[in-house]
């Protein structure tokens, strides 16, 4: 790795300037002592670092190469060249450090959502405190222009909130009393009183910052290759430099000093800075560019996988559709009225918080007497079973009536699967059985997101599109047909989704990506090569389960993520080819005497700076 010696120096330019002044005096006076003084001023840290690394057993690094090359020049009494090479090297290191620091600063600015303070209510007054001093249940005040410091519920006030730092969306969101708000958003107008619901360390902003800060820890195969390459490359070039001195002089009677100088130049050129700086920086910039779009990538390894998708697998509900269910059809059986059907269904779903259950209770719209309900339990993947006034009631899908589960008795002769009321519908069907009698079915429909249409159309350029859903075949078929999805699989239990995904993975020719809501689909998100949590805004489960988190619920952001990943990989590959290609050219020029040590430093610094600047293009999305 190239170490930046100036990171902890208050002003490296002073040292470089002093070295140049002493060097100039030495040049004028032809004074060896002053040359050596200028050399030590410019390069003492390089020599010390090389010595420390040798003691640790880490011999071959750029400090060793620069130290060996310049001490060799001093050994053949090329004092001006040794000093000037070290000065040029330090200038190059300073410029590289400035470029890298600037890039990291611009990436950090993209995620500049950390709040500085919170206005905490204390005895009717508001005092500024650190966000980590605020407790759950405390009231905080957020004025116009301030960042919302912690997650909470609006107790009082209305405002327009800028969520762009989290979602990448520039259009402000209007919030009112009773709405949930997330830390990291900016209050554009109005004053908000917020009751805190999460400690700062558990808040959305804290989790996002932690996620981004640790993203660099998961290295790509490309980065690991470069690390291994540098370990092998450096000792190889040292051996080649040694051969460059010994073979011509011992074997062919060459002049020792001439070939030694060429070997030293060869060592200076061989510094692998351009690769070991620009490749990780390219991935880091790609992660920063994705963050700007509200796409949080947990590590550069996922960017590499995302750049070559074979199949993109979607969950249906809440991912491709809005996840907002409404009762669209009541089909009571003969002798049952709609009111009885809906009331029984509402009582059966009373203890469930599933979106379908909530839509049924909303459609009923009347108070439910909880004392009438007993022994509620869920039949995994099929429905719910309760007792209403002591009578067993089942509510669930088609397979609920055929195979209701252990200990549940639907009564003889109930065959929901053949009932005409569940045919030819678009939506999710909930069948109701009470005391063995089939009461009828309720159809709940979910609307496709407008954004899903363009997202699927764009993504089909890159990969096969598959949909996995627990919904029935008719509902799944309708959605797949509307969106022009390549394959779909319906009526899947959670474990069936994992099995189906594994079948796709076995046949893959690239990465298999799964996009879901990050809560119900945690097993599938984990099993996929890349798990993408959709609408992960504020969802702890989504951030934990997924490799990539889309901070709003737009499927088109997956297309943006793939494009950013492909661009990042192009830039990384460009840097690798450019750096290695130029290095080989200049190594040949140096070996045959067409390159001086001064020129070698310029070449090394120039290649590195160009590669760094190229890496920064990944920031622009």
Retrieve residue 167's tokens: 């979602």
Distances (CA, A) of 424 to 332, 429, 524: 16, 11, 30
**Rounded-to-integer distance, Cα 243 and Cα 255, Å:** 14
* Ramachandran sector of residue 512 (left: φ over 0; alpha: ψ -120 to 50; beta: rest): beta
The Cα 429–Cα 421 span in angstroms is 9
Would you report the helix, strand and coil content of the chain in percent, each value rounded to 5? 50, 20, 30
Q: Among 90, 95, 82, 92, which Cα is nearest to 42's?
A: 90
In the chain, how many H helices and how many E strands? Answer: 21, 22
Residue whose tokens read 């959502």: 113
Q: How far apart are CA 578 and CA 589, in angstroms?
A: 17
315 is catalytic: yes
Query: What six digits make up the tokens of 288?
Result: 């920063």
Q: Return the residue matching tokens 């009373």.
A: 350
DSSP per-residue string spanning 270-281 = T--HHHHHHHHH
Sheet with 437-448, strands from edge to edge, namely: 321-332, 437-448, 428-434, 391-396, 383-388, 373-379
165, 296 contact by CB (below 8 A): no
- DSSP assignment letter at 535: T
Give the span between the Cα atoms of 22 and 14, in whole angstroms: 12
Paired residues of 297 in beta bridges? 548
CA–CA gap between residue 196 and residue 192 (Å, rounded): 12
Q: How far is residue 537's CA from residue 325's CA, in Å, rounded to a whole number?
A: 20
What is the Cβ-side half-sphere exposure of residue 373, based on CA atoms within 13 angstroms?
20
H or E stretch covering 448: strand 437-448
In the block, residue with structure tokens 């011999």: 59
DSSP class of 169: -
Residue 281's closest CA among 207, 206, 211, 220? 220
Spatial distance between the Cα atoms of 527 and 502, rounded to a whole number of angstroms: 8
**Buried (b) or exposed (e) across 401-421, using 16+ Cβ within 10 A?**
beebbeebebeeebebeebeb
Q: Is 240 helix (H, G, I), strand (E, B) or coil?
A: helix
> Residues 61, 151, 162, 315: which is the catalytic one?
315
In this structure, the dihedral spanned by the alpha carbons of residues 370, 372, 375 and 377, taken in order and rounded to 10 degrees, is -60
Tell me if residue 189 falls in helix, strand or coil.
strand
Q: What is the largest CA-CA distance in the chain?
A: 114
What would the DSSP string read from start to end of 448-493?
EPHHHHHHHHHHTTTSEEEEE-SS-HHHHHHHHHHHT-SEEE-S--
Helices (H), 131-203: 164-167
Contacts of 14 (CB under 8 A, 6+ apart): none
Catalytic residues: 315
């Amino acid at each position: 790795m190239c170490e930046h010696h100036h990171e902890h120096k208050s002003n490296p330019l002073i040292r470089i300037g002093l070295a140049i002044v002493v060097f100039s005096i030495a040049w004028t006076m032809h004074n060896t002592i002053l040359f050596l003084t200028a050399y030590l001023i410019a390069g003492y840290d390089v020599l010390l670092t090389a010595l420390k690394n040798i003691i640790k057993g880490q011999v071959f690094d750029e400090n060793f190469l620069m130290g060996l090359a310049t001490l060799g020049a001093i050994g053949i009494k090329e004092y001006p060249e040794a000093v000037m090479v070290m000065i040029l090297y330090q200038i190059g290191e300073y410029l590289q450090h400035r470029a890298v620091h600037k890039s990291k600063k611009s990436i950090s600015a993209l995620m500049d959502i950390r709040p500085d303070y919170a206005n905490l209510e204390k005895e009717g007054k508001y005092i500024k405190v650190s966000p980590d001093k605020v407790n759950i249940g405390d009231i905080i005040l957020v004025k116009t222009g301030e960042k919302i410091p912690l997650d909470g519920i609006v107790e009082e006030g209305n405002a327009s909130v800028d969520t762009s730092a989290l979602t990448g969306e520039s259009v402000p969101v209007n919030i009112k009393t009773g709405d949930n708000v997330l830390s990291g958003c900016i209050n554009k107008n109005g004053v908000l009183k917020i009751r805190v619901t999460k400690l700062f360390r558990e808040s959305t902003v804290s989790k996002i910052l932690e996620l981004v800060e640790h993203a660099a820890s998961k290295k790509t195969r490309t980065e690991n290759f470069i690390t291994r390459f540098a370990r092998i490359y450096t000792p190889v070039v040292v051996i080649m430099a040694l051969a460059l001195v010994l073979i011509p002089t011992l074997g062919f009677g060459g002049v020792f000093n001439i070939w030694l100088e060429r070997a030293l130049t060869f060592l200076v050129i061989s510094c692998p800075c351009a690769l070991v700086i620009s490749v990780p920086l390219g991935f880091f910039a790609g992660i920063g560019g994705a963050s700007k779009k509200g796409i949080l990538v947990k590590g550069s390894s996922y960017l590499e996988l995302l750049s070559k998708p074979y199949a993109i697998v979607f969950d249906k509900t809440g991912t491709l559709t809005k996840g907002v269910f409404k009762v669209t059809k009541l089909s009571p059986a003969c002798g049952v009225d709609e009111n009885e059907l809906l009331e029984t269904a509402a009582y059966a779903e009373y203890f469930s918080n599933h979106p379908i259950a909530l839509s049924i209770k909303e459609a009923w719209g009347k108070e439910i007497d909880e004392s009438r309900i007993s022994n509620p339990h869920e039949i995994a993947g099929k429905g719910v079973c309760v007792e209403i006034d002591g009578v067993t009631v089942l509510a669930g899908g088609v397979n609920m009536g055929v195979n209701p589960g252990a200990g549940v008795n639907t009564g003889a002769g109930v065959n929901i699967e053949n009932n005409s009321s569940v045919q030819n519908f678009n939506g999710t069907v909930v069948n109701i059985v009470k005391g063995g009698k089939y009461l009828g079915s309720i159809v709940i429909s979910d609307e496709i997101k407008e954004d899903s249409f363009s997202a699927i159309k764009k993504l089909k350029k890159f990969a096969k599109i598959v949909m996995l859903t627990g919904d029935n075949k008719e509902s799944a078929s309708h959605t797949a047909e509307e969106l022009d999805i390549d394959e779909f699989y319906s009526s899947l239990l959670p474990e069936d989704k994992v099995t189906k995904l594994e079948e796709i993975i076995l046949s893959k020719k690239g990465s298999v990506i799964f996009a879901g809501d990050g809560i119900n689909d945690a097993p599938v998100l984990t099993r996929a090569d890349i798990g993408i949590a959709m609408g992960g805004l504020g969802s702890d489960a989504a951030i934990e389960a997924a490799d990539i988190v889309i901070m709003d619920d737009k499927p088109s952001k997956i297309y943006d993520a793939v494009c950013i990943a492909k661009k990042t990989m192009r830039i990384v590959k460009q840097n690798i080819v450019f750096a290695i290609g130029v290095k080989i050219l200049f190594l040949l020029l140096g070996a045959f005497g067409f390159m001086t040590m001064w020129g070698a430093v310029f070449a090394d610094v120039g290649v590195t700076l160009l590669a760094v600047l190229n890496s920064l293009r990944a920031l622009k999305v």
